[in-house]
Structure 1
Amino acid sequence: MSRLLSKTVLFTLQTLVTFLLLLFMKTHVLIYDKPCTNIAEDYIRVICSTDKYKQNTSRNVHIMKSDISSESEAVKRQLISVASEMTLERNMVLFTVVNDAYMPFVNSWLCNTKTMNIHKSVLIATTDALTRETLKTRWPEINVISLDMGTLSGNQTFGTIGYMKLIIKRAEMVLVLLLANIDVFIFEVDCVWLSNAVSSISFKEHHDIIVNPVSGSNSETFAGGFILLRSTCRTKIVWHKVTDVMMVLGERVKSLQDFGTFEEENEQEVLARLLRDGYGNVTIKMLPLEMYADGKWYNLSEEDRSKTRPVIINNNWIVGNKAKMKRAKEWKHWFLHDDYQTCDMERVHSVVH
């Protein structure tokens, strides 16, 4: 009897300690705007043992209402259901969010990567049902869901409120996938893949996040549109924080006009700040710009370009869909015929290696 009582008391004390540690993590990891840079390994170990954050193969995600408050339950469940089917063979999805105005870029990129055997791993979230149906009809191999955000149509350029709303939605959806123990490769379609970027990236078991630095940032800022997030506990902690910050911003901009200017901290700046500060003791791998180039590549001298061996080139550092498209065509990085529907496979074969 006394032995049973002792075990009961010990269990109660252990439960109390665990609760207090989790409360500490809730306060210091998920709420404070200022990153906590000295999170003890013991605290990380405790929170990583909970059902919500631990890394395993289960797809039974535990999502509190406060985690993704703006997403309907149906959309979340559809996302997890589709992604789970996709990852039966490989635990990673290539994920992006697009609206109707980005359809030419979507089609061009899908033509660009048509021979790379990656389309079954592609998951595209569209802002409306019509764009989803168009994509599924044109590209039956890829996976598409609709977010039904009908108001976010037209050109949503970088730095506008509408663009930020799309990025906030992407952050929310990525968190859902990570909490479902699915690795996420965030990518954008306004780019050219000169070879298979998925197979070209190698990482060690201890890498939680793989990032691509932004040109001219001294490797202190990372591209928001090319990130590999492994569904480790530490990644979940960091991305939960990113999503928390973005959700706060979302509340401030949700009633504002989509084409207004956004001047606050964006997703890639939030993530870079957390990673620089060692938030959640996360480990990262940085990709070389010589191989994973951004839009500054187009402005290099011919001599400097000859020193690079790009796997991909992101068509950024230029504003507006028309300007992006014009530059892609000038550099033969556009893979559609003039009907904007059919692939220019001759161009694909001449560019992709």
Structure 2
Amino acid sequence: MSSYFLHQRPLHPGLSNPFQPSSSRSQSRPTAVSSRATVLALISLVVILGVLLPWSGVHRNISLFSYPDPVLARWRHYSLVDALSFVSKNNTVIVCAVSLPYLPFLNNWLISIVRQGHHDKVLVIAEDYATLYKVNERWPGHAVLIPPVLDADTAHKFGSQGFFNFTARRPQHLLNIVELGYNVMYNDVDMIWLADPFPYMEGNHDVYFMDDVAAVKPLNHSHGLPPPGKKGRPYVCSCMIFLRPTAGAKLIMKKWIEELQAQPWSRSQKANDQPAFNWALMRNSEKADLYLLPQSAFPTGGLYFRNKTWAKETKDKHVIIHNNYIVGFDKKIKRFRDYKLWLVDDHADESPLGRL
């Protein structure tokens, strides 16, 4: 996987100055002392800047000594309004939220979308500056950063506060987009497209989503919100969502944000965004037009990868597969490879990002 040095290590002066003059020499050569004092002052300034600047505000994810050239730096001022205007097709965009360690998954996901002819409408919401610059360097205009920038080093372990902070931004991103009047499809990047999903967004419902249960449902199952499970709420996945710019969709996004605020992460309750999404759907199901996508076309990883009989019987119906029900980058990549779904090994040239 690609990696970047996001912070420059501060420069440390020596513990002592071997050129420190004796008192007698300092009295006879005041000019030399002045010069050495100036040098030491400059070194001290470099140390202070090297320590403080990389950790201040907007410079948090980029160091003093790795600041990009002006061509890349201009993307710092690229707005969501500009990005949506550039990438949208037929008033529709496909979005994902990505931090640097997920770039290989982004590339794999993109290749599968290229094969369905929808990659031109993809917008990558970069969660750090390195991702913003890398994507726009390879694929100009297809990445935008929406401040504030999170600490990318803590945002990757499932169940951590960093992961919660990362995923909890999702409903606000989606709300921003529908409030600007766009249809938006959200995907996690540990997904892969096997067919075009847009024909399944039939009708004019407000919110479309997929189930996250591994239990097999009949092919003609209801498209209504599933009933509550053992935890008192449905088990819908927040990994794949399609929204129309309607009052109902905006309401669900706002209620999702409220649920997240009411159920923050703690060491005892290691929350993530999905339960809050389910509570928002269930508590507002009468106020929005909700649509459950067919399980055969949008199966969870707990079904597709673990039930070989079902996968074989529904082989020609699969549209988007989610590589969940497994934790860890390496484990996800291995499972994709085992099922010949890790496309970046042999087909990186098909991605607009190329080989990373």
Give TM-score, length-normalised by structure 2. 0.65
Task: Name the CA shift for 1:312/1:261 in 2 (closer, same or farther; >3 Å).
Answer: farther
Aligned-partner Cα distance in 2 for 1:213–1:126: 27
**Equivalent position of 1:83 in the other structure:** 84
1:62-100 CA distance string (max 9 Å, x none) = xxxxxxxxx9xx98981123113333x412211111111
**Equivalent position of 2:179 in the other structure:** 179
State the one-letter code of the partner of 2:192: V
- Contact 1:92 1:121 survives alignment (8 Å): yes
- Contact 2:214 2:302 survives alignment (8 Å): no
* 5+ long unaligned stretches in structure 1: 1-70, 346-353
* 1:230 is the counterpart of 2:244: yes
Give TM-score, length-normalised by structure 1. 0.66
Task: Name the CA shift for 1:299/1:334 in 2 (closer, same or farther; >3 Å).
Answer: closer
- Contact 2:129 2:145 survives alignment (8 Å): yes
Shift of 1:180: 1.6
Task: Name the CA shift for 1:245/1:76 in 2 (closer, same or farther; >3 Å).
Answer: farther
- Contact 1:76 1:176 survives alignment (8 Å): no
Task: Name the CA shift for 1:111/1:85 in 2 (closer, same or farther; >3 Å).
Answer: closer
Aligned-partner Cα distance in 2 for 1:116–1:298: 21
**Equivalent position of 1:115 in the other structure:** 115
The DSSP-based 3-state class of the residue aligned with 2:115 is: coil
The DSSP-based 3-state class of the residue aligned with 1:290 is: coil
Q: Which has the higher contact order (CA 8 A, sep 6+)?
A: 1
Shift of 1:163: 1.4
Task: Name the CA shift for 1:289/1:226 in 2 (closer, same or farther; >3 Å).
Answer: same
Task: Name the CA shift for 1:248/1:202 in 2 (closer, same or farther; >3 Å).
Answer: closer
Shift of 1:112: 2.2
**Equivalent position of 1:31 in the other structure:** none
Matches within 5 A, 1:1-353: 78-87=79-88, 89-140=89-140, 143-147=142-146, 149-153=149-153, 156-197=156-197, 199-205=198-204, 207-216=205-214, 219=226, 220-247=234-261, 249=263, 263-264=270-271, 266-279=272-285, 281-308=287-314, 309-337=317-345, 342-343=348-349
Aligned-partner Cα distance in 2 for 1:181–1:314: 28
State the one-letter code of the partner of 2:202: F
Task: Name the CA shift for 1:301/1:178 in 2 (closer, same or farther; >3 Å).
Answer: closer
- Contact 1:335 1:343 survives alignment (8 Å): no
- Contact 2:252 2:284 survives alignment (8 Å): no
* 5+ long unaligned stretches in structure 2: 1-57, 59-74, 218-225, 227-233, 352-356
Aligned-partner Cα distance in 1 for 2:308–2:239: 26
The DSSP-based 3-state class of the residue aligned with 1:342 is: helix
- Contact 1:234 1:282 survives alignment (8 Å): yes
The DSSP-based 3-state class of the residue aligned with 1:133 is: helix
Shift of 1:337: 2.2
Shift of 1:321: 0.9
Aligned-partner Cα distance in 2 for 1:343–1:262: 43
The number of residues matched between the two structures is: 259
